[in-house]
């Protein structure tokens, strides 16, 4: 949880100033659910640290790429190492979060530039060398039952059905996600109506919500 707090403070400070970064880190550190999960010896706190670290690197790479500055290869490789670590903790979650973030930013800027700066070809090699042996070992021991349980029942059960819905109907979260489309259209409309360019921090914020 300490790593998650630090990696919340870093991008918050970089994007919005030191005061916002400190407030965001303190809010996470004082969160009841975050403190509870950190003391249960579960994977969720470790996964949170991996996801936030990957998002921190995406923000750094994006803010360097947008004005045309050089993106250090080390940042890209650290991003893929964070992805590999998150995959080992709870396979699909970090890919869904960071992948959605990168896709939204590419659509917003109508460019593959950010994706290229992530160096997916060379970055996937060390990431695969870390995560793939574990997947092969688990598949060999469980005969594929582990993936059926983890993805088919646990993940899809939470996303599409009523698992952990806290009493709400099935797939309640999906209709509300459509509100993001309206928010994106509103920002685009402001830009086209002469309100100026949308700041990179606002683009990142919308991408993170996505």
Model confidence pLDDT, tens digit, residues 23-51: 888 888 888 887 787 777 778 888 888 99
Whole-number pLDDT of residue 79: 94
201 occurs within a structural domain: no
Report the chain's mean pLDDT, rounded to a whole number.
77
Count of domains forming the chain: 1
200 occurs within a structural domain: no
**Residue from 112, 14, 106, 23 nearest 57 by CA:** 14
174 occurs within a structural domain: no
Q: For residue 21, what are the domain limits?
A: 2-129
75 occurs within a structural domain: yes
170 occurs within a structural domain: no
**196 band by pLDDT with thresholds 50, 70 and 90:** very low
- Which residue is it, tokens 């400070």? 13
169 occurs within a structural domain: no
Mean pLDDT in residue range 161-175: 56
Give the global pTM: 0.73
27 occurs within a structural domain: yes
Mean pLDDT in residue range 156-177: 57
Mean pLDDT in residue range 70-87: 92
80 occurs within a structural domain: yes
Whole-number pLDDT of residue 209: 46
Q: Compute the distance between CA of residue 155 and CA of residue 161 in angstroms, rounded to an integer.
A: 10
């Amino acid at each position: 949880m300490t790593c998650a707090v630090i990696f919340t403070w870093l991008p918050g400070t970089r994007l919005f100033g030191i005061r916002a970064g400190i407030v965001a880190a303190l809010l996470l550190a004082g969160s009841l659910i975050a403190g509870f999960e950190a003391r249960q010896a579960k994977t969720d706190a470790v996964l949170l640290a991996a996801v936030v670290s990957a998002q921190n690197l995406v923000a750094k790479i994006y803010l360097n790429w947008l004005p045309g500055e050089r993106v250090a290869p080390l940042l890209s490789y650290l991003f893929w190492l964070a992805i590999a670590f998150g995959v080992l903790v709870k396979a699909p979650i970090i890919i869904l979060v960071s992948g959605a973030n990168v896709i939204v930013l590419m659509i917003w800027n109508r460019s593959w530039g950010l994706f290229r700066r992530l160096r997916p070809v060379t970055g996937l090699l060390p990431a695969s060398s870390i995560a793939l042996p574990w997947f092969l070992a688990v598949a060999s021991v469980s005969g594929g039952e582990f993936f059926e349980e983890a993805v088919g029942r646990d993940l899809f059960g939470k996303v599409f059905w009523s698992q952990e819905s806290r009493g709400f109907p099935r797939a309640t979260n999906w209709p509300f996600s459509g509100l993001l489309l309206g928010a994106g259209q509103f920002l685009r409309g402001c830009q086209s109506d002469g309100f100026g360019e949308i700041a990179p921090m606002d683009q990142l914020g919308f991408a993170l919500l996505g």
